[in-house]
Amino acid sequence: MRACWTYIDVFAPDLLAARDDLDQLDALMDPPGARATSADIDQRLEQWLARPDAFIPVHVVTVGRGVKGAINWSGLSTLLGCKVGGISGPGGPARRRRVQDAIRAGVPERPGITATQPAIVDRPDDRRGPWCPGFELANVRREITNLRDAAYIFVGLMTMMRDSEIQGIPVGCLGTRYGAPVIHSTVVKDRGPGGQPDSWWISDPVVKAIEVAEKITLSPTRIFGSLYQGNQRELRSFDVHDEIGRFTSWVTAHSPDNGLDPIPDFRLAPHMFRRTMAVITANEPDGEIALGITLKHNATRALANSLTSGYGTPTPDWAREFRHQAQDVAAGELVADWARHTAGQPIARGPGATTFLAGLDDVTDKVADNPVKTGDERLLRDMLRDEFSTIELGPLNHCLGVTADAQCLKNLADEARGAGPLRSLCSPTTCMNSVITEAHMPVWLAEEADLTARLKDRRMAKVHRQRLQAQLDQVRSITRQEPT
């Protein structure tokens, strides 16, 4: 996802500008059927070498007979406005010697032939530099194809649309619905011949990915299905499985100079994006809410439930790995709470605050008894992870995850209780598992202000006023409570 977004957000402006530069150079070439004389070519070469901004282009990548770092003779012909091979012909050897003499005389060599130069990026090895050496016909062709692939993958990850739905996205697909951006496409699965038009709510980064894809497509009906059409700078036909593999291989092969981390060598398929995001949102704290926000289906709880509980069900191996990672992340976030508590600062509210603080004190005692110095954060994280092995962190509160204390599990069957606390049924103001820290307070204070403002409406019906007042009383039981 990081690699795809970097292509969309950082590399795309460079690639689109380089493509325009190449188009402008094409427009300045000798018209079809015209052929410059040998004397004319010699004159153009001398004029080029005499310019203060003159340079000799070298190949950016190795393609065909062109070797990376070697003089790009066809690129130099393009800069002179000659057909490919203009430097060759009867006077070719003499012109090549003239160019090599110019290099020895101080005319610089430069990768690529465009005026556009690549952006400077931070590289994983702590260096800074351009994300590619420069731009020429061969690498612009490949990188624009990579850009198309990156946009496809990003849209798939961020929308959880099926491959058929993504590949059916046409130019002009963006719109709005109820004030939020949407993609218009076609649902094919189980919809009969031709499919059924539908729309998907999306976020702003997805809008940007679609806009980039629209700028590089050749087809008015499929932004991810453009054809090669015989022009080296245009896109090939789109085989999604092959292109995903080519994209990941290219990113890895050009890391770290491109500023991107290598991508592990693993065969990827479109359905994996949909399933992976479903599993992640199903298992994250408040995952159903997160999925609703991702899909912009905030009011359609049923959709979140059906997708996260069904399609998002993890495999046993995934579940074990995810649980371990979730515990490690939780422990990392609890380090700050532990530090403030040991410094004597009040940090917690809510029914579970006493239990939470007692757990932090237990960790403090274990750290004091351990021969490893107390500043070892790795040790501290491990101890916190062991002490709070069932805790789940969320935006409203932390759930200690103790089944016996879980108010959300009362009156449920034993098989339902076995799965542990249900965050979707959480009662943060009354459950003994609920801990509200200072990091949660902005949400609670905002809710208190909102309810207070709504209760000022004198036209409100009595029953609604009573309901809102009860909610406000619950919120104030937290906001007016002194932290411990």
- pLDDT tens for the chain, 484 residues long, are 899 999 999 999 999 999 999 999 999 888 877 778 888 899 999 999 999 999 999 999 998 888 999 999 999 999 999 875 677 777 889 999 999 999 999 999 999 999 999 999 999 888 999 999 999 999 999 999 999 999 999 999 888 888 888 988 988 999 887 667 888 898 887 777 777 888 888 888 999 999 999 999 887 778 886 544 544 344 444 678 888 999 999 999 999 999 999 999 888 888 888 777 766 665 554 444 444 444 433 333 333 333 444 555 555 665 555 566 666 667 778 888 999 999 999 999 999 999 999 999 999 998 887 755 545 677 888 888 889 988 888 888 999 999 888 998 887 777 767 777 887 778 899 999 999 999 899 989 988 998 899 899 888 888 888 988 998 999 999 999 999 9
Residues 74, 113 within the same domain: yes
Residues 307, 322 within the same domain: no
Residues 303, 383 within the same domain: no
Residues 41, 95 within the same domain: yes
Residues 60, 18 within the same domain: yes
Residues 80, 17 within the same domain: yes
Residues 295, 422 within the same domain: no
- For residue 284, the model assigns a pLDDT of 53
Residues 372, 437 within the same domain: yes
Residues 302, 399 within the same domain: no
As for how many domains the chain has, the answer is 3
Which of 120, 140, 171 is the C-terminal boundary of a domain? 120
Residues 42, 56 within the same domain: yes
- Per-position b or e across 390-407, b if 16+ CB within 10 A of its CB: ebbbbebbbbbbbeebbb
Q: Is residue 140 part of a domain?
A: no
Residues 59, 107 within the same domain: yes
Which of 83, 98, 120 is the C-terminal boundary of a domain? 120
Q: Is residue 62 part of a domain?
A: yes
Residue found by looking up tokens 């016909």 in the block: 137
**Bridge partners (DSSP) listed for residue 248:** none
Q: Is residue 349 part of a domain?
A: yes
Q: Is residue 240 part of a domain?
A: no
End-to-end CA distance of the chain: 41
Do residues 269 and 276 lie in contact, with contact meaning Cβ atoms separated by under 8 Å? no
Distance CA 409, CA 87 (A): 81
374: left (phi over 0), alpha (psi -120 to 50) or beta: alpha
Map residue 437 onto helix, strand or coil. Answer: strand
Q: Is residue 144 part of a domain?
A: no
Q: Is residue 371 part of a domain?
A: yes
Which of 99, 120, 141 is the C-terminal boundary of a domain? 120
Q: Is residue 471 part of a domain?
A: no
Residues 296, 405 within the same domain: no
Q: What is the pTM of this model?
A: 0.61
Query: C-alpha dihedral over 227, 229, 231, 237, to 10 degrees?
Result: 30
Distance CA 388, CA 359 (A): 8
Q: Is residue 25 part of a domain?
A: yes
Q: Domain range spanning residue 326? A: 316-454
- For residue 291, the model assigns a pLDDT of 46
**In whole angstroms, how large is the CA radius of gyration of the chain?**
31
